[in-house]
Chains A and B, each alone.
Chain A
Amino acid sequence: MSEDTTQNPTPAQAVLHVADLKGGYGQIQVLHGLDFYVNDGEIVVILGANGAGKTTTLRAISGMIATSGTVDLRGESIQGSKAPDIVRKGVAHVPQGRGTLNELSVEDNLRVGAFIRKDNEVDADMERWFDVYPVLRERRNQRAGSLSGGEQQMLAVSRALMSRPDLLLLDEPSLGLAPLIVKDLFDRFAEINKETGMTMLVVEQNAQLALAIADRGYVIESGEIAFDGPAAELLSDDKIRKSYLGV
């Protein structure tokens, strides 16, 4: 029933609208024309095996690599813009491996997350994310490099949220973390999404967990979208269960 509207949004409805996206590194083309979209308030997950091009897709959106095709943010083209300008348009990207600014304190990591802002609510926002992740408050004056992997992931997410984005890109937040910590992390993403309406595009290998909190999902194989659909459908699809859920 809702298939028609969710499958074919008008670009104005979508926070992110990507069409025929191509890109890669130098002469090597990795993305061979991707089409997908993320609607306002949705959590969308991108699944795929190692080297499928998931990270490259996020880097293409946030302006870290050269691309061709369409990348529209709320109907406005951001394709070809530089990363610092795309942040200012409202895209925050938590890179694979968390991108912690090791030598800076936890607090300075958050302040630098608010680098593009000129309002005076930065401190208030910082307290807000400290409420969500109290361990960061305890460690606010500590070197960020001294945090555990899970704490660094919380810090990376909070750092990204400090820019007050329209769209949050998360690249394999579960990477290298213990299952319990990952579960907690994803529960918190779902909470943030529910409470703030934050739109999220999440890249994951942990398909089970990601689909559990997602509205829809895409599966990338060698730089192309192989399947897509509502999260529940993907979770029950036999082919996907075999290839990506390990069951």
Chain B
Amino acid sequence: MDLFLNRVFDGLSNGATYALIALALVMIFKATTLINFAQGEFAMIGAFIVLVLATERGVPMWIAVILAMIIAGLGAAGIERTLIRPFDPADHLPLVIITLGLFLAINAIAGIVWRFDPRRFPELFPSGNALTIGSATLTWYTVGVVCTTLITASLLTLLLNKTKIGLAFRAVSSNLESSELVGVRVGPTLQFGWAIAAAVGALGAAVFVANPVLQLEPTIMIRVLIFAVSAAALGGLDSLWGAIIGGVAIGMVQSIVVPYTPIPNELALATAVIVLLLVLIFKPAGLLGTAAVERV
């Protein structure tokens, strides 16, 4: 029982980080109806910026995180302007190739700049346990990650539903031509989406590697991205709260289902892919989504 509870808590903390990256993916999907394969790498760079600011410049951790989110947002806005906007949004192939290219390029650059050896990441949340039930422990880290994810999703919801730029963003993702015909400037509006997505992604990576049992290295987000893609697809690629549900569900599958079934631990990643396939086959719009997953 305690073991089971521990696995639930693990599933929660992993799931909440997948959800954060999935939120970023959903923002990009709303903007482009595509998966940004470089999202995890944007996020990884964000985490390295946090590390550099905090350990080399002595910036307090949460301020470093906020600065990294801003820097990641500005960087993504620049990438949108130079590499994404020049292409026809209806033609998906060039955009997929660009995000794949960005994935490889950013990963290689990070490897050159920071090398591939793992680094310890400072803690973002208090260490120790918030709750002990028998031998099961809920760490402050898990509480922190879950709260961060819920707060982020709530703020994003407010941003999209209560602000003018949010209204413009939803309009563009619903009907590009009608949005232009009511005076929305499509380019800057989508750029805003890219910036927000990158900022959320950077937060996700920082929170993820703040896990005391993990270390930061340039490849760390590749696995996370695969789980996050499955989470986003499961929840419905255009639904913020679907991404949260999907993230937690994938986290639970990974930490509960895998240990209790004959699936070897090494294949945990494959479960994410299997979930993704099942969604594509049986419910392409995901749990809460409106758009069917046609291209990933």
Interface residues of A (CB under 8 A from B): 62, 64, 83-84, 87-88, 92-93, 95, 99-104, 108, 111-113, 115-116, 159-160, 163
Q: Say yes or no for B154: interface residue by CB 8 A criterion.
A: no
Q: Does B26 contact A (CB under 8 A)?
A: no
Interface residues in B139-195 by Cβ distance below 8 A to A read 164, 167-168, 170-171, 173-175, 177-186
CB proximity of B289 to chain A, nearest CB, Å: 10
A to B CB contacts below 8 Å, 24 in the list: A62-B181, A83-B180, A84-B180, A84-B183, A84-B185, A92-B181, A92-B182, A95-B177, A99-B177, A100-B175, A100-B178, A101-B171, A101-B178, A101-B179, A103-B170, A104-B170, A104-B171, A104-B174, A108-B167, A111-B167, A112-B171, A112-B184, A115-B171, A115-B184
Interchain CA distance A92-B181 in the complex, whole Å = 7
Query: In whole angstroms, what is the CA distance A23 to B96 when docked?
Result: 32
Q: B96-123 toward A: CB 8 Å interface, digit per residue (1/0)? A: 0000000000000000000000000000
- Closest B residue, CB atoms, query A94: B181
Once A101-B175, A103-B174, A103-B290 are accepted as A-B contacts, the answer to whether A112 and B180 lie under 8 Å apart by CB is no
Q: A103-B290, A104-B170, A108-B167 are in contact. Are A116 and B175 (CB under 8 A)?
A: no
* B174 → A minimal CB distance (Å): 4
Q: What chain B residues lie within 8 Å of A160 (beta carbons)?
A: 181-182
In the complex, which residues of chain B have a beta carbon less than 8 angstroms from the beta carbon of A87? 181-183
Nearest 5 CB-CB pairings of A with B: A99-B178, A87-B183, A116-B183, A101-B174, A83-B180
A158-B170 Cα distance, complex, nearest whole Å: 19
Which residues of A lie under 8 Å from residue B290 when comparing CB positions? 103
B167→A159 contact, CB < 8 A = no
* Nearest B-chain residue to A117, judged by Cβ: B183
